[in-house]
Amino acid sequence: MTVLNSKIPAGPLAEKWSKHKAAIKVVSPANKRKLDIIVVGTGLAGGSAAASLAEMGYNVKAFCYQDSGRRAHSIAAQGGINAAKNYQNDNDSIYRLFYDTIKGGDYRAREANVYRLAEVSGDIIDQCVAQGVPFAREYGGTLSNRSFGGVLVSRTFYARGQTGQQLLLGCYASMNRMIGQGKIEMHERNEMLDIVTVDGKARGIITRNLVTGEVERHGAHAVVIASGGYGNVFFLSTNAMGCNGGAAWQAYKNGAFFGNPCFVQIHPTCIPVHGEQQSKLTLMSESLRNDGRVWVPKKKEDAIKLQEGKMGPNDIADEDRDFYLERRYPSYGNLVPRDVASRAAKERCDAGFGVNAEGKAVYLDFKYSIERLGQDVIEARYGNLFQMYEKITDVDPYNEPMQIYPAIHYSMGGTWVDYNLMTTVPGLYAIGEANFSDHGGNRLGASALMQGLADGYFVLPYTIGDYLADEIQTPRIDVNHPEFDKKEKAVNERLQKLFNVKGNKSVDSFHKRLGNIMWDYVGMARNEEGLKFAIAEIAKIKEDFYNDVRIPGDFDAMNIELEKAGRVADFLELGDLMARDALNRNESCGGHYREESVTEEGEAKRDDENFTYVSAWEYKGENQEPVLHKEELVFEEVKLTQRSYK
């Protein structure tokens, strides 16, 4: 018998959300004024939640580690945001968006959550337009759309290649209005390091002021984690340098179960790794696959010449090019979902057809669309991306194909939440990328922005009322409560322990070691032996870290190495849990590819009989084995089939 209760409402799928909204409790305006909510993270999920909750009348305290809320990494999302508007009259619908998302996620997401996501998607676009988001428009003044991977309709709204930036500036503007009105108390350069629970309920957080080094206490009636994903466990990823799993990890250590930690997304179109000195990877938007064709040489000897720099891509005739996505997946072609495209690139490179010196790159070629549409059209669509590519690589993609390779991009896994987005700790919520709920084993392009804003604008503001309605008698949380004393002390001890190691090696050196192990054994292809090896190696790195890390500077002042050390300490534990989860899930599914579970054609093979569940891990204490709980996934609407994009 599981301890998990997903609280999915009964009734037909299309009516669940409206019935649920009608049934849950509402807090009166007079009482909202007496209630405080903490929001950790100011990306699309946190920013939209903070703004909406403040507009409703709650007192919000928002936190971010950056120097401004508008710098959260949602800002880097390029391609677009999905919504089932059917503006293009291509027979799109809420059901079709729901179905594409469930199928794209390889049937490992909750039907009810995904349907709700599709249901509110249209409202998000309306909201963003009202805020002044300058979406692309047609000549007649209506909104423009483009297509994305894994779907057969055009439902992606975009603002050039900067959609995430514009959506984030939209919700940040709404936040600013509320900050100006005193309804949001904004804490920049302030990182959450622990959660305070009183009588089992989340009642506040402990943070470190990154400017002064001071450890601070903040109380509230509810705490919302919106701190994004944990892709940086791999060291190299498309995440921002500061992105971390800290808030979610502290939630886990305080009793919130962690859902599907092994589900991370590997994005197929990133600029390949360059040398040993690289600090991060840059994404080239999936939208490029609308007009770019992916290929490697057909002949091994051509590949070798390319690797040795003895020949260029334009020296290879069309008939000697292997457009392997079009060959293997004729119906979706270059627009197969990310997990499929990434594995196909790896397969070709592993077979020796990679095109750069390291043999770890494939081409994304715009020659054909430039011939078809003209360079000016391509420039209007992707100009900023082409410029970015040229600045980084010194190669002009109008004349020579881009080199791309898969890289870690997004975490589908995250803090386990119920239908109300509440974790297993009462009063503690997780939204956006930080939770596990909507993308299953693989996220479709342009759906992260949709989910972040759905949670923040239209889901959490309602569901949190159901909990807070029973808290209206609770006075303002007293941060002098002994639980706050205890947690503040624990945070100080944790940081002191790291600071006092006074070893010989930098924080980054450990992070890189961890990243290498994660990429090699818990990355694009995983197997039992490798995962067991990874678990043992991570334990060794952790031991070395606590014996030999060097953190220069002062403890009680700005100290960037200390900040990084705290994050790496969390990543070392998170990496271990990811490997354990990957070991347990002996099936291939979405971004999780177990070499033991493959079809004859080399495609990922799900095992629905044994693994149609969400794995939710429970923390049992330092150096204790975590306990696995299973939330069975029940599909009432969709029939599970082997995913095919052929």
Partner 1 sequence: MADKIIKNLTIKVWRQKNAKTAGKFETYKINDISGGTSFLEMLDILNEQLINDGQEPIAFDHDCREGICGMCSLFINGRAHGPDDDITTCQLHMRKFKEGETITIEPWRAGAFPVIKDLIVDRTAFEKVLQAGGYISVNTGGVPDGNAIPISQDDAEEAMDAAACIGCGACVATCKNSSAMLFVSAKVSHLAKLPQGRVEASRRAKNMVAKMDELGFGNCTNTGACEVECPKGISIANIARLNREFLAAKIKD
* Segment near partner 1 (CB under 8 A); pick from 340-348, 476-484, 521-529, 553-561: 553-561
With CB under 8 A as the contact rule, the residue among 1, 22, 301, 309 that binds partner 1 is 309
By beta-carbon proximity to partner 1, the closer residue of 189 and 298 is: 189
d(CA 171, CA 515): 33
Near partner 1 in 579-638, by CB under 8 A: none
- Enumerate residues 6+ apart whose C-beta is below 8 A from 291: 366, 369, 373, 378, 381, 382
* Segment near partner 1 (CB under 8 A); pick from 66-74, 253-261, 359-367, 573-581: 66-74
By beta-carbon proximity to partner 1, the closer residue of 44 and 179 is: 179
- As measured in angstroms, the least distance from the Cβ of 458 to partner 1 is 8
- As measured in angstroms, the least distance from the Cβ of 413 to partner 1 is 22
Distance of CA 474 to the CA centre of its chain: 34
Near partner 1 in 444-483, by CB under 8 A: 457-458, 461
154 binds partner 1 (CB under 8 A): no
Near partner 1 in 362-381, by CB under 8 A: none
Query: How is residue 555 written in tokens?
Result: 């403890």
- Going from the C-alpha of 583 to that of each of 106, 462, 485, the distances in angstroms are 18, 37, 39
d(CA 124, CA 183): 23
By beta-carbon proximity to partner 1, the closer residue of 63 and 323 is: 63
User: Phi and psi of 81, rounded to 5°?
Assistant: -135, 130
Near partner 1 in 113-132, by CB under 8 A: 123, 125-132
By beta-carbon proximity to partner 1, the closer residue of 105 and 246 is: 246
SS (H, E, C) 194-263: EEEEECCEEEEEEEEECCCCCEEEEECCEEEECCCCCHHHHCCCCCCCCCCCHHHHHHHHCCCCEECCCC
By beta-carbon proximity to partner 1, the closer residue of 82 and 424 is: 82
CB 47 within 8 A of CB 172: yes
At residue 270, what is the residue type? C
279 binds partner 1 (CB under 8 A): yes
By beta-carbon proximity to partner 1, the closer residue of 237 and 250 is: 237
d(CA 44, CA 228): 9
By beta-carbon proximity to partner 1, the closer residue of 101 and 307 is: 307
392 binds partner 1 (CB under 8 A): yes
136 binds partner 1 (CB under 8 A): yes
Closest residue by Cα to residue 443 from 578, 592, 587: 592
Closest residue by Cα to residue 512 from 579, 564, 577: 564
329 binds partner 1 (CB under 8 A): no
With CB under 8 A as the contact rule, the residue among 216, 520, 544, 561 that binds partner 1 is 561
With CB under 8 A as the contact rule, the residue among 86, 101, 145, 162 that binds partner 1 is 162
- List, as own/partner pairs, every contact residues 483-486 make where C-beta atoms lie below 8 angstroms and the sequence separation is at least 24, other chains included: 483/196, 483/197, 483/198, 483/203, 484/196, 484/204, 484/206, 484/217, 484/219
Count of residues near partner 1 by CB under 8 A? 88
Distance of CA 364 to the CA centre of its chain: 24
With CB under 8 A as the contact rule, the residue among 2, 18, 278, 500 that binds partner 1 is 278
By beta-carbon proximity to partner 1, the closer residue of 376 and 529 is: 376
Near partner 1 in 512-551, by CB under 8 A: 550
What x-and-dash track marks residues 480-509 binding partner 1 by CB under 8 A?
------------------------x-x-xx
With CB under 8 A as the contact rule, the residue among 91, 301, 391, 475 that binds partner 1 is 391
With CB under 8 A as the contact rule, the residue among 135, 484, 499, 519 that binds partner 1 is 135
The radius of gyration of the chain from alpha carbons, rounded to an integer in Å, stands at: 24
* Segment near partner 1 (CB under 8 A); pick from 146-154, 269-277, 489-497, 587-595: 269-277
By beta-carbon proximity to partner 1, the closer residue of 197 and 463 is: 463
With CB under 8 A as the contact rule, the residue among 12, 29, 275, 475 that binds partner 1 is 275
298 binds partner 1 (CB under 8 A): no
CB 619 within 8 A of CB 415: no
Name the burial class of residue 241, with classes exposed (0-12), middle (13-18) and buried (19+) by CB atoms within 10 angstroms of its CB.
Answer: exposed
d(CA 414, CA 434): 5
188 binds partner 1 (CB under 8 A): yes
71 binds partner 1 (CB under 8 A): yes
Distance of CA 279 to the CA centre of its chain: 19
By beta-carbon proximity to partner 1, the closer residue of 141 and 475 is: 141
d(CA 605, CA 595): 10
277 binds partner 1 (CB under 8 A): yes
- As measured in angstroms, the least distance from the Cβ of 451 to partner 1 is 16
CB 549 within 8 A of CB 498: yes
283 binds partner 1 (CB under 8 A): yes
89 binds partner 1 (CB under 8 A): no
